[in-house]
Amino acid sequence: MRTSIVASSLLALTQAFYIPGFSYKTYRDGDTVPLLVNKVYSDYSELQYAFTELPFVCPPTGRARAGRLASGTSISLNLGEVLRGDRIVVSDYELVMGVDEEARYLCSRTIDLNDIHKAKELIRDGYVAEWIVDNLPGATSFQTTDKTRKYYAAGFKLGDETTSGASGPTEYLLNNHVTLVVRYRNAPGKDGDKGKKVIVGFEVFPRSITADGRNESGLLPYIEGDHKPLVLAPQANSTNSTGAETESTTLTIPYTYSVYWREDDRLEWQNRWDMYFAAQDDSANVHWLAIVNSLVICGLLTVGLSVVITRTIRSDISGHKDTGMRTRSPRKSASPRREKSDLLGPTADLDAESLEIDEDNAEDVAAWKLLHGDVFRAPAYGGLLAPLVGSGMQLLYMAFGLLVLGTLGVLNPSFRGGYVSVGVGLFVFAGVFSGYFSARLYKTFGGQMWQKNVIITAGLVPGLLFATIFILNLFVWIQASSTALPFGTLIALVMLWLFVQLPLVYAGSWFGFERMGAYTQPIRPNAIPRQIPEQHWFIKSVRRYLLAGLVPFMVIFVELMFAVKSLWVDKTTYYYAFGFTGIVSALLAVTVVEAALVSTYLLLCSENYHWWWHSFAIGGSSAIWVYGYLVYCYFAKLHISGFLSSTLFFVYGFLACAVYTLLTGTMGFLAAYMFSTTAAIAAKGAQVSLSLVDLVQYGFHQY
pLDDT digits (tens, 9 = 90+) for 285-306: 666 777 787 788 888 878 877 7
Among 140-144, 255-259, 450-454, the least confident range: 140-144
Q: How confident is the model at residue 627 (pLDDT cuts 50, 70, 90)?
A: very high
Distances in whole angstroms, Cα of residue 132 to Cα of each of 135, 258, 307, 328: 6, 16, 57, 81
- Region of 666 please: left (phi>0), alpha (psi -120 to 50) or beta: alpha
The per-residue DSSP string of 600-622 comes to HHHHHHTT---HHHHHHHHHTTH
Task: Quote the CA–CA distance of 283 and 561 in Å, as a whole number.
Answer: 12
Task: Quote the CA–CA distance of 127 and 158 in Å, as a whole number.
Answer: 6
Residue-wise pLDDT for 235-284, tens only, equals: 765 555 555 555 678 899 999 999 999 999 888 888 888 888 765 555 66
What is the structure's pLDDT at 13?
35
Determine contact, residues 130/137, Cβ cutoff 8 Å: yes
What is the structure's pLDDT at 21?
57
pLDDT over 90 at 669, yes or no:
yes
Residue-wise pLDDT for 8-51, tens only, equals: 333 333 333 445 556 789 999 999 999 999 999 998 998 999 99
Determine contact, residues 662/457, Cβ cutoff 8 Å: no
What is the structure's pLDDT at 578?
61
Helices 431-444 and 382-408 cross at an angle (nearest 10°) of 150
Residue-wise pLDDT for 309-320, tens only, equals: 665 555 555 554
Classify the C-alpha dihedral 93-94-98-99 as positive or negative: negative
Nearest to 498 by CA among 467, 469, 468, 463: 463
Mean pLDDT (the chain, rounded): 80
What is the structure's pLDDT at 35?
95
Task: Quote the CA–CA distance of 517 and 522 in Å, as a whole number.
Answer: 15
pLDDT over 70 at 106, yes or no:
yes
Distances in whole angstroms, Cα of residue 472 to Cα of each of 271, 469, 667: 39, 5, 31
Nearest to 605 by CA among 532, 673, 696: 532
> What residue type is 651 in one-letter code?
V
Among 342-346, 436-440, 487-491, 662-666, the least confident range: 342-346
What is the structure's pLDDT at 439?
96
pLDDT over 80 at 523, yes or no:
no
Among 193-197, 441-445, 526-530, 692-696, the least confident range: 692-696
> 185 in helix, strand or coil?
strand
Q: How confident is the model at residue 606 (pLDDT cuts 50, 70, 90)?
A: confident
79 membership: H or E segment, kind and range = helix 79-83
Q: How confident is the model at residue 63 (pLDDT cuts 50, 70, 90)?
A: confident
Task: Quote the CA–CA distance of 372 and 343 in Å, as a whole number.
Answer: 14
What is the structure's pLDDT at 136?
93
Residue-wise pLDDT for 156-188, tens only, equals: 999 999 887 666 788 999 999 999 999 999 998
Q: Which residues pair with 21 in a beta bridge?
A: none
> What residue type is 619 in one-letter code?
G
- The strand pair at 197-207 and 177-186 is best described as antiparallel
Nearest to 453 by CA among 429, 437, 430: 437
pLDDT over 90 at 545, yes or no:
no
Task: Quote the CA–CA distance of 118 and 137 in Å, as a whole number.
Answer: 24
> What residue type is 374 in one-letter code?
D
Among 69-78, 79-88, 230-239, 644-653, the least confident range: 230-239
The per-residue DSSP string of 2-68 comes to HHHHHHHHHHHHHHH---TTT----B-TT-EEEEEEEEEEETTEEEEEEGGG-TTSPPP---B-GGG
> What residue type is 258 in one-letter code?
S
Distances in whole angstroms, Cα of residue 115 to Cα of each of 87, 92, 120, 250, 480: 21, 22, 9, 9, 14
- The strand pair at 136-137 and 156-157 is best described as unpaired
Over range 109-126, report the average pLDDT: 94
Distances in whole angstroms, Cα of residue 170 to Cα of each of 163, 166, 167, 173, 641: 5, 10, 9, 10, 20
What is the structure's pLDDT at 679?
67
Q: Which of 203-217, 396-410, 433-447 has the highest mean pLDDT?
A: 433-447
What is the structure's pLDDT at 334?
40
Nearest to 544 by CA among 600, 609, 585, 495: 600
Q: What percent of the chain has pLDDT over 70?
A: 76
Classify the C-alpha dihedral 305-308-314-317 as positive or negative: negative
What is the structure's pLDDT at 541?
67
Q: How confident is the model at residue 615 (pLDDT cuts 50, 70, 90)?
A: very high
What is the structure's pLDDT at 571?
66
More confident residue, 348 or 574: 574
- The strand pair at 251-263 and 177-186 is best described as parallel
What is the structure's pLDDT at 363?
39
Distances in whole angstroms, Cα of residue 667 to Cα of each of 78, 135, 401, 601, 654: 31, 39, 16, 16, 20
